[in-house]
Amino acid sequence: MSRIQWPRDTIARRFALTIVLASLTTIGLNQIYLNVEGVLGLPPIGKPELLDQAHIIAKLIEAAPPQARPRLAASTGIRDFQVNWYADRSQVVLLSENTKDVVFSPETIQRFRGETNWNVAIFESENNSIASSKDRHAFTKPEKIFMTVQLHDNSWVVFSATRQDWGMARAKRIGIVLALLILSVVAISLVAARQLAKPIEQFSEAVRRFGVNTRAPQMSETGPQELRVAIKAFNAMQTRIQKFVSDRTSMLMAISHDLRTPLTRMRLRGEFIEDTEQQTKLFRDVDEMHAMIDAVLNFFRDDTETEQTTQFDLSELLRTIRDDYTDQGINIPYYGPEHQVYSGRPMGLKRAFSNLIDNTVKYGTQPEIEVACLEKAISVTIRDRGPGIPSASLQQVFTPFYRLEGSRGRKTGGVGLGLTVVRTIIHSHGGDVVLRNRDDGGLEAIITLPSSS
Protein backbone atom coordinates (compact mmCIF):
# COMPACT_ATOMS: atom_id res chain seq x y z
CA MET A 1 0.00 0.00 0.00
CA SER A 2 1.56 3.25 -1.13
CA ARG A 3 1.75 6.15 1.28
CA ILE A 4 0.11 9.47 0.49
CA GLN A 5 2.63 11.99 -0.79
CA TRP A 6 1.82 15.34 0.78
CA PRO A 7 3.06 18.54 -0.90
CA ARG A 8 6.47 19.63 0.35
CA ASP A 9 6.65 22.43 2.89
CA THR A 10 8.18 25.21 0.81
CA ILE A 11 8.23 28.99 1.11
CA ALA A 12 6.07 29.29 -2.04
CA ARG A 13 3.53 26.89 -0.49
CA ARG A 14 3.44 28.91 2.71
CA PHE A 15 2.83 32.12 0.78
CA ALA A 16 0.03 30.43 -1.19
CA LEU A 17 -1.56 29.12 2.01
CA THR A 18 -1.31 32.59 3.51
CA ILE A 19 -3.22 34.09 0.59
CA VAL A 20 -5.86 31.34 0.69
CA LEU A 21 -6.35 31.66 4.44
CA ALA A 22 -6.56 35.44 4.19
CA SER A 23 -9.21 35.15 1.47
CA LEU A 24 -11.25 32.56 3.40
CA THR A 25 -11.03 34.63 6.57
CA THR A 26 -12.20 37.68 4.69
CA ILE A 27 -15.18 35.80 3.30
CA GLY A 28 -16.00 34.45 6.75
CA LEU A 29 -15.76 37.85 8.43
CA ASN A 30 -17.86 39.40 5.68
CA GLN A 31 -20.52 36.72 6.16
CA ILE A 32 -20.49 37.30 9.92
CA TYR A 33 -20.91 41.00 9.29
CA LEU A 34 -23.87 40.40 7.02
CA ASN A 35 -25.51 38.12 9.57
CA VAL A 36 -24.87 40.49 12.46
CA GLU A 37 -25.99 43.41 10.40
CA GLY A 38 -29.17 41.56 9.51
CA VAL A 39 -32.09 43.86 9.04
CA LEU A 40 -29.98 46.82 10.05
CA GLY A 41 -28.36 46.78 6.65
CA LEU A 42 -31.58 46.72 4.68
CA PRO A 43 -32.03 49.72 2.45
CA PRO A 44 -34.88 52.11 3.37
CA ILE A 45 -38.25 51.59 1.78
CA GLY A 46 -37.98 54.93 0.01
CA LYS A 47 -35.04 53.80 -2.09
CA PRO A 48 -35.89 54.34 -5.81
CA GLU A 49 -35.28 50.76 -6.94
CA LEU A 50 -37.43 49.44 -4.07
CA LEU A 51 -40.23 51.85 -4.98
CA ASP A 52 -40.09 50.60 -8.56
CA GLN A 53 -40.40 47.00 -7.36
CA ALA A 54 -43.26 47.92 -5.04
CA HIS A 55 -45.05 49.72 -7.90
CA ILE A 56 -44.85 46.63 -10.13
CA ILE A 57 -46.08 44.38 -7.32
CA ALA A 58 -49.03 46.67 -6.57
CA LYS A 59 -50.05 46.66 -10.25
CA LEU A 60 -49.82 42.86 -10.39
CA ILE A 61 -52.02 42.53 -7.28
CA GLU A 62 -54.55 45.01 -8.66
CA ALA A 63 -54.75 43.10 -11.93
CA ALA A 64 -55.35 39.76 -10.17
CA PRO A 65 -58.81 38.57 -9.06
CA PRO A 66 -59.62 39.28 -5.37
CA GLN A 67 -59.50 35.60 -4.33
CA ALA A 68 -55.92 35.26 -5.64
CA ARG A 69 -54.57 38.48 -4.18
CA PRO A 70 -53.63 37.24 -0.65
CA ARG A 71 -51.57 34.37 -2.03
CA LEU A 72 -50.04 36.59 -4.70
CA ALA A 73 -49.10 39.22 -2.12
CA ALA A 74 -47.45 36.66 0.14
CA SER A 75 -45.47 35.17 -2.74
CA THR A 76 -44.22 38.51 -4.06
CA GLY A 77 -42.60 39.55 -0.81
CA ILE A 78 -38.82 39.86 -1.09
CA ARG A 79 -35.97 40.19 1.36
CA ASP A 80 -36.25 43.95 1.62
CA PHE A 81 -39.95 44.15 2.53
CA GLN A 82 -43.09 42.10 3.09
CA VAL A 83 -46.33 42.50 1.11
CA ASN A 84 -49.90 42.00 2.42
CA TRP A 85 -53.29 42.61 0.78
CA TYR A 86 -56.39 43.63 2.76
CA ALA A 87 -59.92 43.82 1.37
CA ASP A 88 -61.04 46.66 3.64
CA ARG A 89 -59.55 49.53 5.60
CA SER A 90 -60.19 48.10 9.09
CA GLN A 91 -57.06 45.96 9.08
CA VAL A 92 -54.98 48.89 7.88
CA VAL A 93 -56.31 51.01 10.74
CA LEU A 94 -55.08 48.39 13.22
CA LEU A 95 -51.60 48.60 11.74
CA SER A 96 -51.57 52.38 11.98
CA GLU A 97 -52.14 52.40 15.76
CA ASN A 98 -49.18 53.69 17.83
CA THR A 99 -47.47 54.99 14.72
CA LYS A 100 -46.17 58.29 13.47
CA ASP A 101 -46.13 59.73 10.00
CA VAL A 102 -43.00 59.60 7.90
CA VAL A 103 -42.50 62.50 5.58
CA PHE A 104 -41.30 61.49 2.11
CA SER A 105 -40.57 64.01 -0.57
CA PRO A 106 -43.34 64.67 -3.14
CA GLU A 107 -40.99 63.42 -5.83
CA THR A 108 -40.72 60.05 -4.06
CA ILE A 109 -44.51 59.71 -3.72
CA GLN A 110 -45.06 60.74 -7.32
CA ARG A 111 -42.43 58.26 -8.54
CA PHE A 112 -44.37 55.47 -6.88
CA ARG A 113 -47.80 56.56 -8.02
CA GLY A 114 -46.88 57.08 -11.62
CA GLU A 115 -50.12 57.31 -13.62
CA THR A 116 -52.21 55.23 -11.18
CA ASN A 117 -53.29 58.03 -8.82
CA TRP A 118 -53.23 55.63 -5.90
CA ASN A 119 -53.69 56.97 -2.39
CA VAL A 120 -50.34 56.39 -0.65
CA ALA A 121 -49.50 56.83 3.05
CA ILE A 122 -46.26 56.07 4.86
CA PHE A 123 -45.80 55.74 8.63
CA GLU A 124 -43.66 53.85 11.17
CA SER A 125 -44.31 52.10 14.47
CA GLU A 126 -43.28 53.76 17.73
CA ASN A 127 -42.84 50.55 19.75
CA ASN A 128 -41.54 47.06 19.24
CA SER A 129 -44.81 45.18 19.55
CA ILE A 130 -45.55 45.38 15.84
CA ALA A 131 -42.22 43.96 14.72
CA SER A 132 -42.33 40.22 14.36
CA SER A 133 -39.96 38.11 16.46
CA LYS A 134 -38.00 36.89 13.46
CA ASP A 135 -37.11 40.49 12.60
CA ARG A 136 -35.74 41.26 16.06
CA HIS A 137 -32.02 41.60 16.35
CA ALA A 138 -29.77 41.37 19.38
CA PHE A 139 -28.09 44.68 18.66
CA THR A 140 -31.10 46.89 17.91
CA LYS A 141 -34.73 47.66 18.65
CA PRO A 142 -36.27 47.14 15.22
CA GLU A 143 -39.28 49.17 14.10
CA LYS A 144 -41.50 48.75 11.08
CA ILE A 145 -42.02 51.22 8.28
CA PHE A 146 -45.32 50.79 6.45
CA MET A 147 -46.39 52.07 3.07
CA THR A 148 -50.13 51.64 2.42
CA VAL A 149 -51.47 51.80 -1.12
CA GLN A 150 -55.24 52.15 -1.73
CA LEU A 151 -56.12 50.49 -5.02
CA HIS A 152 -58.95 51.64 -7.28
CA ASP A 153 -61.36 49.05 -5.83
CA ASN A 154 -60.71 50.40 -2.30
CA SER A 155 -58.65 47.37 -1.24
CA TRP A 156 -55.27 47.91 0.32
CA VAL A 157 -51.75 46.72 -0.35
CA VAL A 158 -49.38 47.18 2.60
CA PHE A 159 -45.60 47.13 2.17
CA SER A 160 -43.71 46.76 5.44
CA ALA A 161 -39.98 46.97 5.93
CA THR A 162 -37.76 46.95 8.98
CA ARG A 163 -36.42 50.36 9.77
CA GLN A 164 -32.70 50.81 9.12
CA ASP A 165 -31.59 51.90 12.60
CA TRP A 166 -27.97 52.26 11.67
CA GLY A 167 -28.80 54.78 9.04
CA MET A 168 -25.58 53.72 7.36
CA ALA A 169 -24.86 54.79 3.83
CA ARG A 170 -23.59 52.34 1.23
CA ALA A 171 -20.14 53.92 1.28
CA LYS A 172 -19.85 53.28 5.01
CA ARG A 173 -20.96 49.66 4.67
CA ILE A 174 -18.35 49.16 1.93
CA GLY A 175 -15.82 50.74 4.28
CA ILE A 176 -16.66 48.16 6.95
CA VAL A 177 -16.19 45.33 4.47
CA LEU A 178 -12.82 46.78 3.38
CA ALA A 179 -11.80 47.18 7.01
CA LEU A 180 -12.63 43.52 7.63
CA LEU A 181 -10.61 42.60 4.54
CA ILE A 182 -7.60 44.57 5.73
CA LEU A 183 -7.94 43.20 9.27
CA SER A 184 -8.07 39.59 8.10
CA VAL A 185 -5.17 39.99 5.66
CA VAL A 186 -3.01 41.70 8.29
CA ALA A 187 -3.85 39.10 10.97
CA ILE A 188 -3.19 36.12 8.72
CA SER A 189 -0.05 37.73 7.29
CA LEU A 190 1.35 38.39 10.76
CA VAL A 191 0.78 34.80 11.83
CA ALA A 192 2.24 33.43 8.60
CA ALA A 193 5.20 35.80 8.74
CA ARG A 194 5.90 34.73 12.30
CA GLN A 195 5.80 31.07 11.33
CA LEU A 196 8.18 31.76 8.46
CA ALA A 197 10.48 34.09 10.39
CA LYS A 198 10.87 31.81 13.42
CA PRO A 199 13.06 29.16 11.71
CA ILE A 200 15.03 31.93 9.97
CA GLU A 201 15.69 33.57 13.35
CA GLN A 202 16.78 30.21 14.75
CA PHE A 203 19.11 29.76 11.79
CA SER A 204 20.61 33.22 12.34
CA GLU A 205 21.07 32.50 16.04
CA ALA A 206 22.82 29.21 15.24
CA VAL A 207 25.19 31.01 12.85
CA ARG A 208 25.93 33.67 15.47
CA ARG A 209 26.45 31.05 18.18
CA PHE A 210 28.83 29.07 16.00
CA GLY A 211 30.74 32.25 15.20
CA VAL A 212 31.72 32.65 18.87
CA ASN A 213 31.84 28.99 19.85
CA THR A 214 33.03 26.31 17.44
CA ARG A 215 31.70 23.64 19.82
CA ALA A 216 28.12 24.93 19.52
CA PRO A 217 25.52 22.19 18.91
CA GLN A 218 24.06 21.72 15.47
CA MET A 219 20.63 23.09 14.74
CA SER A 220 17.61 20.95 13.97
CA GLU A 221 16.42 20.82 10.37
CA THR A 222 13.00 22.47 10.60
CA GLY A 223 11.07 25.00 8.55
CA PRO A 224 10.37 25.25 4.81
CA GLN A 225 12.16 23.00 2.35
CA GLU A 226 14.50 25.75 1.13
CA LEU A 227 15.52 26.62 4.69
CA ARG A 228 16.04 22.96 5.63
CA VAL A 229 18.46 22.62 2.71
CA ALA A 230 20.41 25.65 3.98
CA ILE A 231 20.43 24.27 7.54
CA LYS A 232 21.66 20.90 6.31
CA ALA A 233 24.52 22.56 4.41
CA PHE A 234 25.36 24.70 7.44
CA ASN A 235 25.42 21.67 9.75
CA ALA A 236 27.74 19.86 7.33
CA MET A 237 30.05 22.89 7.20
CA GLN A 238 29.98 23.14 11.01
CA THR A 239 30.95 19.47 11.32
CA ARG A 240 33.89 19.90 8.92
CA ILE A 241 35.13 23.02 10.73
CA GLN A 242 34.85 21.33 14.13
CA LYS A 243 36.80 18.35 12.83
CA PHE A 244 39.44 20.64 11.33
CA VAL A 245 39.86 22.57 14.59
CA SER A 246 39.98 19.34 16.58
CA ASP A 247 42.59 17.80 14.29
CA ARG A 248 44.69 20.97 14.33
CA THR A 249 44.56 21.18 18.12
CA SER A 250 45.46 17.49 18.51
CA MET A 251 48.36 17.89 16.08
CA LEU A 252 49.78 20.95 17.82
CA MET A 253 49.42 19.30 21.22
CA ALA A 254 51.23 16.23 19.94
CA ILE A 255 54.04 18.33 18.47
CA SER A 256 54.41 20.35 21.66
CA HIS A 257 54.43 17.22 23.76
CA ASP A 258 56.97 15.48 21.53
CA LEU A 259 59.34 18.45 21.83
CA ARG A 260 59.88 17.56 25.50
CA THR A 261 62.00 14.54 24.54
CA PRO A 262 64.73 16.34 22.54
CA LEU A 263 64.78 19.12 25.13
CA THR A 264 65.42 16.55 27.84
CA ARG A 265 68.28 15.07 25.77
CA MET A 266 69.71 18.57 25.25
CA ARG A 267 69.72 19.19 29.00
CA LEU A 268 71.40 15.85 29.66
CA ARG A 269 74.08 16.55 27.10
CA GLY A 270 74.54 20.01 28.53
CA GLU A 271 75.75 18.42 31.73
CA PHE A 272 78.90 17.37 29.87
CA ILE A 273 79.74 20.92 28.73
CA GLU A 274 82.80 22.08 30.62
CA ASP A 275 82.31 25.79 29.83
CA THR A 276 80.15 26.95 32.73
CA GLU A 277 78.98 30.13 30.97
CA GLN A 278 77.84 28.25 27.85
CA GLN A 279 76.21 25.59 29.98
CA THR A 280 74.23 28.22 31.89
CA LYS A 281 73.03 29.85 28.66
CA LEU A 282 72.01 26.46 27.25
CA PHE A 283 70.08 25.51 30.38
CA ARG A 284 68.34 28.93 30.35
CA ASP A 285 67.22 28.40 26.75
CA VAL A 286 66.05 24.87 27.50
CA ASP A 287 64.07 26.06 30.53
CA GLU A 288 62.48 28.82 28.47
CA MET A 289 61.49 26.34 25.77
CA HIS A 290 60.03 24.05 28.45
CA ALA A 291 58.00 26.99 29.77
CA MET A 292 56.74 27.79 26.28
CA ILE A 293 55.77 24.18 25.64
CA ASP A 294 53.94 23.97 28.98
CA ALA A 295 52.08 27.19 28.18
CA VAL A 296 51.09 25.92 24.74
CA LEU A 297 49.90 22.59 26.14
CA ASN A 298 47.89 24.35 28.83
CA PHE A 299 46.40 26.68 26.22
CA PHE A 300 45.27 23.87 23.91
CA ARG A 301 44.17 21.72 26.84
CA ASP A 302 41.91 24.48 28.12
CA ASP A 303 40.65 25.07 24.58
CA THR A 304 39.53 21.45 24.32
CA GLU A 305 37.77 21.44 27.69
CA THR A 306 34.00 21.84 27.58
CA GLU A 307 32.99 23.69 30.72
CA GLN A 308 29.22 23.85 31.05
CA THR A 309 27.45 27.21 30.93
CA THR A 310 25.80 28.11 34.21
CA GLN A 311 24.44 31.13 36.07
CA PHE A 312 26.74 32.70 38.61
CA ASP A 313 27.41 36.00 40.39
CA LEU A 314 29.89 37.90 38.22
CA SER A 315 30.46 40.56 40.88
CA GLU A 316 31.28 37.92 43.46
CA LEU A 317 33.73 36.23 41.05
CA LEU A 318 35.61 39.51 40.55
CA ARG A 319 35.67 40.21 44.28
CA THR A 320 37.08 36.72 44.86
CA ILE A 321 39.99 37.50 42.52
CA ARG A 322 40.47 40.82 44.29
CA ASP A 323 40.52 39.11 47.70
CA ASP A 324 43.26 36.75 46.51
CA TYR A 325 45.48 39.76 45.82
CA THR A 326 44.43 41.42 49.08
CA ASP A 327 45.85 38.41 50.92
CA GLN A 328 49.16 39.20 49.18
CA GLY A 329 49.04 42.81 50.41
CA ILE A 330 47.85 44.26 47.08
CA ASN A 331 44.76 46.46 47.37
CA ILE A 332 42.49 46.48 44.28
CA PRO A 333 39.36 48.67 44.62
CA TYR A 334 36.12 47.32 43.16
CA TYR A 335 33.38 49.62 41.81
CA GLY A 336 30.05 48.20 40.68
CA PRO A 337 26.91 46.38 41.78
CA GLU A 338 27.07 44.04 44.78
CA HIS A 339 25.46 41.27 42.76
CA GLN A 340 25.28 40.73 39.02
CA VAL A 341 23.89 37.43 37.77
CA TYR A 342 25.44 36.25 34.52
CA SER A 343 25.12 33.08 32.45
CA GLY A 344 28.49 31.79 31.22
CA ARG A 345 31.48 29.62 32.04
CA PRO A 346 32.76 30.89 35.40
CA MET A 347 36.15 29.10 35.42
CA GLY A 348 37.00 30.38 31.95
CA LEU A 349 36.01 33.95 32.80
CA LYS A 350 37.93 33.76 36.08
CA ARG A 351 41.05 32.80 34.14
CA ALA A 352 40.55 35.69 31.69
CA PHE A 353 40.00 38.29 34.43
CA SER A 354 42.93 36.88 36.45
CA ASN A 355 45.27 37.25 33.46
CA LEU A 356 44.26 40.89 33.00
CA ILE A 357 44.48 41.74 36.70
CA ASP A 358 47.83 39.95 36.93
CA ASN A 359 49.16 42.17 34.12
CA THR A 360 48.03 45.32 35.95
CA VAL A 361 49.79 44.15 39.11
CA LYS A 362 53.02 43.22 37.29
CA TYR A 363 53.35 46.15 34.92
CA GLY A 364 51.39 48.98 36.51
CA THR A 365 50.28 50.57 39.76
CA GLN A 366 46.95 51.44 41.39
CA PRO A 367 44.94 48.63 39.77
CA GLU A 368 41.15 48.80 40.01
CA ILE A 369 38.06 46.98 38.77
CA GLU A 370 34.81 48.58 37.61
CA VAL A 371 31.59 46.84 36.53
CA ALA A 372 28.79 48.68 34.70
CA CYS A 373 25.44 47.36 33.49
CA LEU A 374 24.64 48.62 29.99
CA GLU A 375 21.35 48.27 28.10
CA LYS A 376 22.12 44.89 26.54
CA ALA A 377 25.57 44.11 27.90
CA ILE A 378 27.78 44.08 30.98
CA SER A 379 31.02 46.06 30.91
CA VAL A 380 34.02 45.10 33.07
CA THR A 381 36.90 47.57 33.07
CA ILE A 382 40.29 46.70 34.57
CA ARG A 383 42.66 49.68 34.66
CA ASP A 384 46.01 50.70 36.13
CA ARG A 385 48.55 53.50 36.28
CA GLY A 386 51.75 52.76 34.43
CA PRO A 387 53.65 53.03 31.15
CA GLY A 388 50.78 51.65 29.09
CA ILE A 389 51.28 50.08 25.65
CA PRO A 390 52.38 51.78 22.41
CA SER A 391 49.34 52.56 20.27
CA ALA A 392 50.69 50.48 17.39
CA SER A 393 50.78 47.38 19.63
CA LEU A 394 47.30 47.59 21.18
CA GLN A 395 46.03 44.91 18.79
CA GLN A 396 49.25 42.97 18.30
CA VAL A 397 49.49 42.02 21.99
CA PHE A 398 46.56 39.62 21.40
CA THR A 399 48.65 37.67 18.85
CA PRO A 400 49.96 34.35 20.22
CA PHE A 401 53.58 34.54 21.48
CA TYR A 402 53.77 38.30 20.87
CA ARG A 403 55.65 40.05 23.70
CA LEU A 404 56.64 43.63 24.22
CA GLU A 405 60.16 44.66 25.05
CA GLY A 406 61.02 46.81 28.03
CA SER A 407 58.81 46.68 31.09
CA ARG A 408 56.63 44.03 29.47
CA GLY A 409 59.49 42.16 27.84
CA ARG A 410 60.69 38.57 27.76
CA LYS A 411 62.49 38.68 31.14
CA THR A 412 59.56 39.92 33.18
CA GLY A 413 56.70 38.33 31.29
CA GLY A 414 55.45 34.94 30.18
CA VAL A 415 55.48 33.39 26.74
CA GLY A 416 52.93 35.74 25.17
CA LEU A 417 49.73 33.69 25.47
CA GLY A 418 48.05 35.50 28.37
CA LEU A 419 46.09 38.06 26.33
CA THR A 420 45.44 35.49 23.61
CA VAL A 421 43.71 33.34 26.22
CA VAL A 422 41.74 36.37 27.41
CA ARG A 423 40.47 37.22 23.94
CA THR A 424 39.62 33.58 23.15
CA ILE A 425 37.55 33.19 26.33
CA ILE A 426 35.75 36.51 25.94
CA HIS A 427 34.96 35.84 22.27
CA SER A 428 33.60 32.40 23.17
CA HIS A 429 31.04 34.21 25.35
CA GLY A 430 30.02 36.46 22.46
CA GLY A 431 31.81 39.45 23.95
CA ASP A 432 34.84 41.57 23.09
CA VAL A 433 37.91 42.96 24.82
CA VAL A 434 39.59 46.26 23.95
CA LEU A 435 42.81 47.76 25.30
CA ARG A 436 43.09 51.53 25.57
CA ASN A 437 45.75 53.87 26.94
CA ARG A 438 44.49 56.30 29.56
CA ASP A 439 44.94 60.00 28.94
CA ASP A 440 46.87 60.64 32.16
CA GLY A 441 48.96 57.47 32.01
CA GLY A 442 48.13 53.83 32.38
CA LEU A 443 46.19 51.17 30.55
CA GLU A 444 42.60 49.96 30.75
CA ALA A 445 41.09 46.76 29.42
CA ILE A 446 37.38 47.03 28.64
CA ILE A 447 35.54 43.69 28.47
CA THR A 448 32.00 43.74 27.08
CA LEU A 449 29.84 40.67 27.67
CA PRO A 450 26.35 40.32 26.18
CA SER A 451 23.65 40.43 28.83
CA SER A 452 22.16 37.03 29.59
CA SER A 453 18.82 38.46 30.81
* DSSP per-residue letters across 246-291: HHHHHHHHHHHHHTHHHHHHHHHHHTT---HHHHHHHHHHHHHHHH
DSSP structural state of residue 139: T
Tell whether 426 is covered by a domain: yes
State yes or no: pLDDT of 35 exceeds 70: no
How many C-beta neighbours within 10 Å does residue 345 have?
20
What average pLDDT does this structure show over 435-448? 88
Where residue 280 falls among pLDDT bands split at 50, 70, 90? confident
What average pLDDT does this structure show over 297-318? 75
Average pLDDT along the chain: 75
Task: Read off the pLDDT of residues 96-136 as tens digits, 9 standing for 90 and up.
Answer: 666 665 555 566 667 677 677 787 777 766 554 333 434 43
Which of 110, 137, 163 delimits the end of a domain? Answer: 163
Instruction: Tell me the C-alpha distance between 41 and 166, whole Å.
Output: 7
Q: What's the CATH number where 318 sits?
A: 3.30.565.10
Tell whether 74 is covered by a domain: yes
Instruction: Tell me the C-alpha distance between 93 and 118, whole Å.
Output: 18
Tell whether 282 is covered by a domain: no
Tell whether 398 is covered by a domain: yes
Instruction: Tell me the C-alpha distance between 324 and 420, whole Å.
Output: 23
State yes or no: pLDDT of 286 exceeds 70: yes
Task: Read off the pLDDT of residues 153-212 as tens digits, 9 standing for 90 and up.
Answer: 888 888 877 655 455 566 776 777 677 777 777 877 787 777 777 778 888 887 877 766
CB of 364 within 8 A of CB of 370?
Answer: no
CA 28 to chain centre: 28
Tell whether 176 is covered by a domain: no
Amino acid 371: pLDDT: 92
Tell whether 384 is covered by a domain: yes
Cβ-based neighbours of 430, under 8 Å, separated by 6 or more: 208, 209, 212, 449, 450
Which of 128, 163, 198 delimits the end of a domain? Answer: 163
State yes or no: pLDDT of 245 exceeds 80: no
**Structural domains in the chain (count):** 2
The more confidently predicted of residues 269 and 423 is 423
The more confidently predicted of residues 317 and 227 is 317
Instruction: Tell me the C-alpha distance between 282 and 261, whole Å.
Output: 16
Amino acid 111: pLDDT: 67
Which of 163, 194, 219 delimits the end of a domain? Answer: 163
Tell whether 206 is covered by a domain: no
- The stretches of 308-345 forming alpha helices (DSSP H) are 314-326
Instruction: Tell me the C-alpha distance between 209 and 285, whole Å.
Output: 42
Q: What is the pTM of this model?
A: 0.50
- Domain hosting 352: range is 307-450
CB of 431 within 8 A of CB of 411?
Answer: no
Tell whether 223 is covered by a domain: no
Instruction: Tell me the C-alpha distance between 401 and 418, whole Å.
Output: 9
Amino acid 382: pLDDT: 92
What average pLDDT does this structure show over 88-99? 71
Reduced DSSP (H G I as helix, E B as strand, rest coil) percent helix, strand, coil of the chain, to 5: 55, 15, 30
Nearest CA to 17 among 197, 226, 193?
193
Cβ-based neighbours of 241, under 8 Å, separated by 6 or more: 214
Q: What percentage of the chain exceeds 70 in pLDDT? A: 74
Amino acid 380: pLDDT: 93
CA 327 to chain centre: 50
